[in-house]
Structure 1
Amino acid sequence: MSIDQVVSIGLPVNISPPPGPGPAVTAAETREPLPFGARLLKGERNWWFLGPGGVARLRDRHVTADGGLRPDAEQRLHESGMFTPGRISSYSLTVLTSTHCNLGCGYCFQNTAQDQAGGSRPPRIAQTRLTSKTITEILGFTERQMSEAGLDKLRILLFGGEPLLNPRGCLELLERAAGIAPTSAWMISNATLLTPSLARRLADLGLTSVQVTFDGDRADHDRIRVGRADGGATFDKIVGNMAKASEDTALQWTLRVNVSQETFHGVDALIDRLAGALDPARCTLYFARIGDVGVGYANSLLHTGELPAAFTRWQRRALDLGFTVARPGARKTCVTCGHTDGRYGAVVSADGTLASCWETAGKPDWEVGTAADGYRPGAETRDRWIACQDLYRYDEDARTLARFRDSVDTALLDYLHETGRL
């Protein structure tokens, strides 16, 4: 569908939805949800349609009085591909190269409890480390899965614990994976161990981006995101390592900012500090309220009150400083945990056990198979197959959470349109 055709019913250029699942549809809570995870949000001057095929701007004449799509507008959206999910082209493989971590964050979903001594060593899942033998099993499993799904490309997530506690495992996995399929990779790391030399070697083997977490501005971060062995500060080391790696590689960065009652008031300063230390043009910035996963960490910050306005302020400041902020999208099924047969992706722990999701990898009694033998029958794993954030606990109901996300997403789309960024 051409841009002229889109504009003729008030629909601007499509923008791609971000990866991962989105919020529930709540534009009008009394009507039936739109199909295929689509959402309809009321903006300041227009309506926003968020579908699996992109985002469109609608006028009041395209929407019913109760906040639903009029039949002619829905037909045009279908015809333009807005309801059509993108084709899955790569198999998504998450591998924990090490289940150990050198930091002692109290909220981590891989903790099994809080540190009873009040220090930086909360008990964690059992320590395992990826070996050459397990890599052989994982790649054999991956070839079989890719063949069954009809996929010929591979996208690997290097995960942990801290994946760089086993750099040899990371490098060997990427090098050998290239022998079974065209491979690209990304990594979730705390970046404390990322040297320029290691960054170059990983980038040469297909690593394109790294996600790094910050717990508020420097003072808050250095109180929360601390070394496991000594409780030491980490902020300057992380930022310094990222800056040096950026000088030697073309790596892109995703900066996750954790939001809680302990970090909330430092986020504004953090955004400016990161803009001064890193190249915003190579960074995507996003904000995430820390959730309760049952390890004794309490986040008292609710999704009501000043939080929606704060998220909106932070996103606008990030955009104005040159950072990328992920565009809102439709509710999506995670390619890794959204299919109970692991059709399009898998999570494999360092010992070769399969989990349905990152959040259960390495945890006893949550295994759904092994790389050597494949997935167990569905009847055996039904109660163990969980998807993204299924284990999170909230003090607020689903409607409150959805209103928060809808409010933030609407404000972001309004600002992107207002500033000509769509």
Structure 2
Amino acid sequence: MTTDQRIDNVPDGRLLEGRRNWWFLGPGGVARLGGHHLAPDGTLRSETRTRLRDSGMYTPPAVRFYSLTVLTSTHCNLGCGYCFQNTAQDREGGSRPPRIARTRLTSETITSILDFTGRRMADAGLERLRILLFGGEPLLNPRGCLELLERAAGIGMDSAWMISNATLLTPALARRLADLGLDSVQVTFDGDRADHDRIRIVRADGGGTFETIVRNIVRASEASPLRWTLRVNVSGENIHGVDALIERLAAGLDPERCTLYFARVGDVGIGYANALLHTGELAERFIRWHRRALELGFTVNRPRAPRPCATCGHADGRYGAVVSADGTLASCWETAGKPDWEVGDVTGGYRPGTDTRDRWIACEDLYRHGEDARTLARFRDRVDAALLDRLHETGCLAS
């Protein structure tokens, strides 16, 4: 049976072939199956589907909190060529690609955002709020980050996270953010040190950032209980250094406080070129990286069935919102702050669906991989099946 058949024959879930068993990934969780659970044509037997449904595997978890993303600054101090907030490549090949317009979150806009959020939470019947501090680089406006978290406590915020390049994160700031409810930070590495310092560069002078980022994570960890998600971008420019990067991160950071994941860098139509395809030995590399990360004590996110993003997966913004620093609404991170992609603002709310239909995009809708969906699905299935096998072997799947 091929991956193509599995995709077609498992509605509302994924069926993956492991080394010794099958894995079913549904909206409600993961189930380990044997060959006897499948019909001769490779589909799930009707009694298997019934048992999975009765055990909740087809039932998505209830939405527990409203997901609010706020860009505290649309400016960034780095000049990464692939950033989806660029509007083109740097014509001179340097570190200053043109970006979306620069705006900065103010106290007045925070008031409007929280008023809007309170109304949306009431409409959705949700009392808990989770905030993502986003940018640009959010720490170019630390005052805005701190004020937003402090004031959001009054409308039910009980947790928050941040996506940051960490070059501006000091121990004192980390401690203050954590005291106000920030629990984790996502930081990106673009390969091992030498590759990273060619790709993830300071906008002002093109300088490298690897040692600064690692040092700041170490110091922030000493000063606060923050946890870290380390995203490793994978491209043709850095793929050969990823194995060494994993070892270096394990030696320099505390793996027990870090989740590690790997993502191929794509292009959102700004001219960034990554010829690396989801074919050949790329799946084996991802499998090897996951195994080594687990051996070194990192957390690796378990695979799951596709589910709508709380923020952009509902066309009416039912369970979340993305707000730029000036109060305009976007459907997704990838279009925040971009001209002609607004879907409303926090004062007037969302525009009618007839006006925003062509502007409402979900996660990765704009990315161009140069490959068809079946190729991407085969890659994902192969990597995820191997990861589930490993998590099961090490007893991590049940945790």
User: Which interval holds the TM-score relative to the shorter structure?
Assistant: over 0.9
Identity of aligned residues (%): 75
Among 88, 95, 98, which residue is 2:70 paired with? 95
| Residue 201 (structure 1) aligns with | 176
Instruction: Tell me, yes or no, if the aligned pair for 2:291 and 2:390 is still in contact at 8 Å.
Output: yes
Instruction: Tell me, yes or no, if the aligned pair for 1:220 and 1:263 is still in contact at 8 Å.
Output: yes
Among 251, 254, 278, which residue is 2:253 paired with? 278
Q: Tell me if 1:34 matches 2:10.
A: yes
AA in 1 matched with 2:117: T
> CA shift at 1:28, angstroms?
4.7
> What is the rounded CA distance, in whole Å, between the counterparts of 1:132 and 1:299 in structure 2?
40
Q: CA deviation digits over 1:143-193, x for unaligned, max 9?
A: 000000000000000000000000000000000000111331000000000
| Residue 12 (structure 1) aligns with | none
Among 189, 195, 206, which residue is 1:220 paired with? 195
Structure 2: runs of 5+ lacking an equivalent: none
Among 249, 261, 267, which residue is 2:242 paired with? 267
Q: CA deviation digits over 1:356-401, x for unaligned, max 9?
A: 0000000000000001110001111111001111111121111000
AA in 1 matched with 2:160: A
> What is the rounded CA distance, in whole Å, between the counterparts of 1:67 and 1:90 in structure 2?
38
Higher mean C-alpha displacement, 94-103 vs 110-119: 110-119
| Residue 289 (structure 1) aligns with | 264
Instruction: Tell me, yes or no, if the aligned pair for 1:28 and 1:68 is still in contact at 8 Å.
Output: no
> CA shift at 1:66, angstroms?
2.4
Higher mean C-alpha displacement, 323-332 vs 388-397: 388-397
User: Tell me, what secondary structure is at the counterpart of 1:183?
Assistant: strand
| Residue 415 (structure 1) aligns with | 390
Instruction: Tell me, yes or no, if the aligned pair for 1:336 and 1:357 is still in contact at 8 Å.
Output: yes
Instruction: Tell me, yes or no, if the aligned pair for 1:129 and 1:166 is still in contact at 8 Å.
Output: yes
CA RMSD of aligned residues (A): 1.0
| Residue 307 (structure 1) aligns with | 282
> CA shift at 1:67, angstroms?
2.1
> CA shift at 1:233, angstroms?
1.1
Among 223, 227, 231, which residue is 1:256 paired with? 231
Q: 1:396 to 1:151 in 2, by over 3 A?
A: same
| Residue 8 (structure 1) aligns with | none
Structure 1: runs of 5+ lacking an equivalent: 1-25
| Residue 189 (structure 1) aligns with | 164
Q: Tell me if 1:112 matches 2:77.
A: no
| Residue 246 (structure 1) aligns with | 221
Instruction: Tell me, yes or no, if the aligned pair for 1:28 and 1:67 is still in contact at 8 Å.
Output: no
User: TM-score with structure 2 length normalisation?
Assistant: 0.98
Instruction: Tell me, yes or no, if the aligned pair for 2:68 and 2:132 is still in contact at 8 Å.
Output: yes
Instruction: Tell me, yes or no, if the aligned pair for 1:28 and 1:66 is still in contact at 8 Å.
Output: no
User: Tell me, what secondary structure is at the counterpart of 1:219?
Assistant: helix
Q: CA deviation digits over 1:116-140, x for unaligned, max 9?
A: 1111000000000000010000000
User: Tell me, what secondary structure is at the counterpart of 2:130?
Assistant: strand
| Residue 68 (structure 1) aligns with | 43
Instruction: Tell me, yes or no, if the aligned pair for 2:71 and 2:323 is still in contact at 8 Å.
Output: yes
> What is the rounded CA distance, in whole Å, between the counterparts of 1:383 and 1:225 in structure 2?
32
Which runs of structure 2 are paired with 1:8-407 in the superposition (5 Å)? Answer: 27-29=3-5, 32-36=8-12, 38-407=13-382
> CA shift at 1:115, angstroms?
0.7
User: Tell me, what secondary structure is at the counterpart of 1:35?
Assistant: coil
Instruction: Tell me, yes or no, if the aligned pair for 2:6 and 2:14 is still in contact at 8 Å.
Output: no
Q: CA deviation digits over 1:284-327, x for unaligned, max 9?
A: 00000000111111000010011000000000000000000000
> CA shift at 1:33, angstroms?
4.1
> What is the rounded CA distance, in whole Å, between the counterparts of 1:258 and 1:406 in structure 2?
19
Instruction: Tell me, yes or no, if the aligned pair for 1:94 and 1:157 is still in contact at 8 Å.
Output: yes
User: TM-score with structure 1 length normalisation?
Assistant: 0.92
> CA shift at 1:420, angstroms?
2.7
| Residue 6 (structure 1) aligns with | none
AA in 2 matched with 1:208: D
> CA shift at 1:238, angstroms?
0.3
AA in 2 matched with 1:291: G
> What is the rounded CA distance, in whole Å, between the counterparts of 2:256 and 2:357 in structure 1?
43
User: Tell me, what secondary structure is at the counterpart of 2:154?
Assistant: coil
Aligned residue-pair number: 396
> CA shift at 1:68, angstroms?
1.2
User: Tell me, what secondary structure is at the counterpart of 2:66?
Assistant: strand
> CA shift at 1:52, angstroms?
1.2
> What is the rounded CA distance, in whole Å, between the counterparts of 2:140 and 2:7 in structure 1?
50
> What is the rounded CA distance, in whole Å, between the counterparts of 1:57 and 1:28 in structure 2?
20
> What is the rounded CA distance, in whole Å, between the counterparts of 2:266 and 2:207 in structure 1?
24
> What is the rounded CA distance, in whole Å, between the counterparts of 2:7 and 2:152 in structure 1?
47
> What is the rounded CA distance, in whole Å, between the counterparts of 1:380 and 1:220 in structure 2?
43
Q: 1:384 to 1:31 in 2, by over 3 A?
A: closer
> CA shift at 1:34, angstroms?
2.6
User: Tell me, what secondary structure is at the counterpart of 1:93?
Assistant: strand
| Residue 20 (structure 1) aligns with | none
> What is the rounded CA distance, in whole Å, between the counterparts of 2:132 and 2:7 in structure 1?
38
Q: CA deviation digits over 1:336-369, x for unaligned, max 9?
A: 0011110000000000000000000000000000
